[in-house]
Amino acid sequence: MEHIVAAAYIGRERRMNGSNRLARETAPSRPDVSSLPSRVFRLRRLNLRAAKSGAHLHAASTVALLLMAVLAAGGCNDHRIGLGEFLLLQQQIRDRTAESPSADQVRETSALLDRKLGPYRVGPGDVLFVTLVSTDDAGLFPPVNVRVNYDNEIVLPIVGTLNVADLPLMEVEEVIHRSFVPAVLTDASVHVTLAEAAPTNVMVIGAVTAPGMVRLRRTERNLLFAIIGAGGASDLASGKVTLVRLRTPSQALTLELTDPRELQSALALEPLADGDIVTVHAAAPNTIFVGGLVNAPQAQFYSPGVQISVLQSIAAAGGLRTDIYPREGTLIRRLPDGSDVHVKLDLTRIATAKDPNILLAAGDILWVPHTPATRIQDFINRNIFLRAGVSVNYTVTGVEFLNRRSLQSNNAGGGDAEQAFDPFGFLTRNATLQSLTP
């Protein structure tokens, strides 16, 4: 019976093994994964090499582009003029404005100033106060007020009509004296004053002390007296004045009264009439624009008349940047003809007094530009970091320091520093331990 059971079991096991072998033979084959880790490692190593190669290529391309930019910047033509050429240009401008007038021009100017700024001259509408005194019996004439008519004439008792056209008061006195002496009087003393001048009302606005309506006398009807009548120019005035005539408003005229030639032109104008408008322009802010490679690029505002040099303006802008070393500057100035001139400045030479520290004018632009050297310095500062240092860490306790020699001498015997200094300390510890109660 046992033999039969054993034979049946063996047959069943053989059938199962056969079916398993058939299943393995008919099942689809699967990849061998035993070598997968090594393949993944090789793939990662290849990717790492590719990444390093890409980084190297990127760095090389960046350096190449930087060098190309530096070469391109260095090869560009510099449109700026030198400081010496600029100073010569400024001297030529001053020489042109300071040309000496001819003798005829001097005589004409003197006659004009004497007429416009000299004694008052009577005209239509003026009221004269005439006093006549004589020692003759017939010389008792009371003082009288007489008005100059539109024909520039006055009418006096006995002598009648007298022409006083555009005469100063002293010459009017001579005219009256000749009319009375000797035809009427043997001798006489004549005194004439201006009792009332015919007014001309003009409007003065802008940068003056007392803007508003100004009354001008006949021979004061010009821009200069109009401004004086308004209290004078204020501290904000620029010297530029615009005249708009009420009867011809489209023909506005602007003059710079601080220029002697233009002041002469202003005095030579036709007299001002009622309703004319005089505008005194305020001075443009004394502004200097500083920018570029400075620590605080901004517009700098100063009071009119304040003069600022190149180094002062850079100092007011916080100085030059210290992470790079800028050495050049560009001055941009507007010339009288409206064009701009660009001047190359060597800041190092100016700072060391080798070049003049020139004064800036209102509206100037002082720019500290990038150069190839500063661009390379800025690139290195942004992308390259160099670090170097030495670090030493050593810690020793006080006990170890004191016991070092004892440790060395007792190392062979197996003792420690505590035993060397207190060989019977273990007895004390044992006594302490025995005194403890559970």
Q: What is the mean pLDDT of the chain?
A: 77
Let me know if residue 422 belongs to a domain.
yes
Boundary residue ending a domain (282, 312, 343): 282
The number of distinct structural domains making up the chain is 4
Quickly count: other Cβ atoms within 10 Å of residue 167's Cβ.
20
CATH number at residue 376: 3.10.560.10
Pairwise pLDDT comparison (389 vs 329), residue with the higher score: 329
pLDDT tens digits, 333-361: 998 888 999 999 999 999 999 999 999 99
318 part of a folded domain:
yes
Share of the chain above pLDDT 90, in %: 39
pLDDT at 434 over 80: no
CA angle 67/71/72 to nearest 5° reads: 115
- Judge whether 315 lies within some domain: yes
9 part of a folded domain: no
165 by DSSP, 3-state: which? coil
- CATH number of residue 133's parent domain: 3.30.1950.10
Position 269 pLDDT exceeds 60: yes
The DSSP code sequence of 37-94 is HHHHHHHHHHHHHHHHHHHHHHHHHHHHHHHHHHHHHHHSPP-PBPHHHHHHHHHHHH
State whether 173 and 247 are in the same domain.
no
Domain final residue, candidates 282, 308, 323: 282
pLDDT in tens, 239-266: 899 999 989 989 899 999 888 888 888 8
Are 158 and 229 in a shared domain? no
User: What SS3 state is found at 274?
Assistant: coil
Domain that holds residue 305: 286-383
Secondary structure (3-state) at 199: coil
Q: Which residue has the higher pLDDT, 95 or 242?
A: 242
Say if residue 111's pLDDT is above 90. no
Structure tokens at 340: 């701009």
> For residue 30, is it within any domain?
no
pLDDT of residue 188: 87
**Is 218 domain-assigned?**
yes
Do both 272 and 294 map to the same domain? no
- Cα–Cα distance between 131 and 133 in angstroms, integer? 7
Residue among 218, 256, 261, 250 at smallest CA distance from 237:
256
